[in-house]
């Protein structure tokens, strides 16, 4: 069983899937000879050529629009947006075109487009290379939004993304690219969307977290375990659609819920999860649903002290766990 980093999981999966399906091609800024700004596509142009690994102009609108057109003609494009912060120029193509094609054609047309993009802070990238965009797009029907946190999940979910017939926004946390390593099974597998994973079993309270925050939550859970606080950590993995059943089953078992996300607090993914718990597990709760998230200021400050102030981390999560456990 090989041990891969998250970014090695992306590269290897793209390579395997391109060998499997000749209709898969990649386009984006510097994805060719350079191998992408984070080297996620390193080596692919040497094997598959510049007809399937295509350097694009510096134009995110065009990258997605070309992907939509190719998908409608039966190809399976992978459109790489170099940083999630720059996906906004393609908002109209994603929301008003890709996400609506199946609905507006009464199921006659599909749009098998995978849009990969690194997101999140913690790398001192400053205001335009650190944003979390998931809440904006998870609100849109017709668009899958996924955020795997481990190499195993990245492999299984990227394979699945390259098989579904609807558009997928595949979010890859840039700090977790090389920070996180993990076993990847030798056997071939996929992980369907909408299936959360219990990353750590516990009985006293539930922490729901994804991406880099899931790893910080695991760290915090191990710390409080030394004091006898048993924390269950749920990784939603897919943000649209959410796996309500797994989240609710855990909260009904522990009766306390803490949601952690790196995005701004107000109207983030955690707000939706909190509403689901309040609606469908209210009778089981022994404490208010709590959240740890970034403050409602533009993300993310460049200076290290300000970045530390902005970003949730294991210390902040640990403090919230102890407060919730004592409620």
Alpha-carbon distance of 1 to 234, in angstroms, equals 24
Please return the burial class of 298, using the count of CB atoms within 10 Å of its CB with bins 0-12, 13-18 and 19+: exposed
Scanning the structure block, which residue is given the tokens 């199921």?
Answer: 107
Alpha-carbon distance of 60 to 57, in angstroms, equals 8
**Positions of E strands within the chain:** 3-5, 24-28, 53-55, 76-80, 114-119, 144-146, 168-173, 181-183, 197-200, 205-209, 231-235, 238-240, 257-264, 290-294
Among 129, 139, 173, 215, the active-site one is 129
Tell me, yes or no, if 129 is annotated catalytic.
Answer: yes
Scanning the structure block, which residue is given the tokens 């800024």?
Answer: 29
Which region, left, alpha or beta, applies to residue 229 given φ > 0 means left and ψ of -120 to 50 means alpha? beta
Alpha-carbon distance of 223 to 217, in angstroms, equals 10
Catalytic residues: 129
């Amino acid at each position: 069983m090989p041990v891969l980093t998250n970014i090695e999981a992306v590269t290897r999966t793209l390579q395997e899937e391109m060998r499997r399906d000749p209709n898969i091609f990649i386009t984006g800024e510097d994805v060719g000879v350079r191998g992408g700004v984070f080297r996620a596509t390193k080596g692919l142009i040497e094997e598959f050529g510049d007809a399937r690994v295509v350097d694009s102009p510096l134009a995110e609108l065009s990258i997605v629009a070309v992907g939509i057109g190719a998908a409608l003609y039966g190809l399976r494009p992978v459109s790489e947006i170099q940083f999630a912060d720059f996906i906004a120029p393609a908002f109209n193509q994603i929301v008003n075109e890709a996400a609506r094609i199946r609905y507006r054609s009464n199921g006659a047309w599909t749009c098998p487009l995978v849009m990969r993009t690194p997101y999140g802070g913690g790398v001192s990238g400053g205001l335009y290379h650190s944003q979390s965009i998931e809440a904006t797009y998870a609100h849109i029907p017709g668009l899958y939004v996924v955020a795997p946190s481990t190499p195993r999940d990245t492999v299984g979910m990227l394979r699945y993304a390259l098989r579904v017939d609807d558009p997928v926004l595949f979010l890859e946390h840039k700090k977790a690219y090389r920070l996180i390593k993990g076993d990847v099974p030798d056997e071939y597998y996929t992980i369907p969307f909408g299936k959360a994973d219990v990353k750590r079993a516990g009985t006293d309270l539930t922490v729901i977290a994804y991406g880099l925050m899931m790893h910080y939550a695991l760290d915090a859970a191990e710390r409080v375990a030394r004091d006898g606080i048993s924390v269950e950590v749920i990784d939603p993995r897919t943000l649209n659609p959410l796996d309500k059943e797994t989240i609710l089953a855990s909260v009904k078992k522990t009766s306390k819920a803490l949601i952690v996300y790196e995005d701004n607090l107000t109207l983030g993914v955690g707000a939706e999860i909190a509403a689901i718990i309040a609606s469908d597990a209210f009778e089981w709760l022994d404490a208010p649903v709590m959240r740890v998230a970034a403050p409602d200021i533009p993300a993310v400050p460049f200076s290290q002290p300000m970045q530390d102030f902005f970003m949730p981390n294991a210390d902040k999560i640990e403090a919230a766990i102890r407060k919730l456990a004592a409620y």
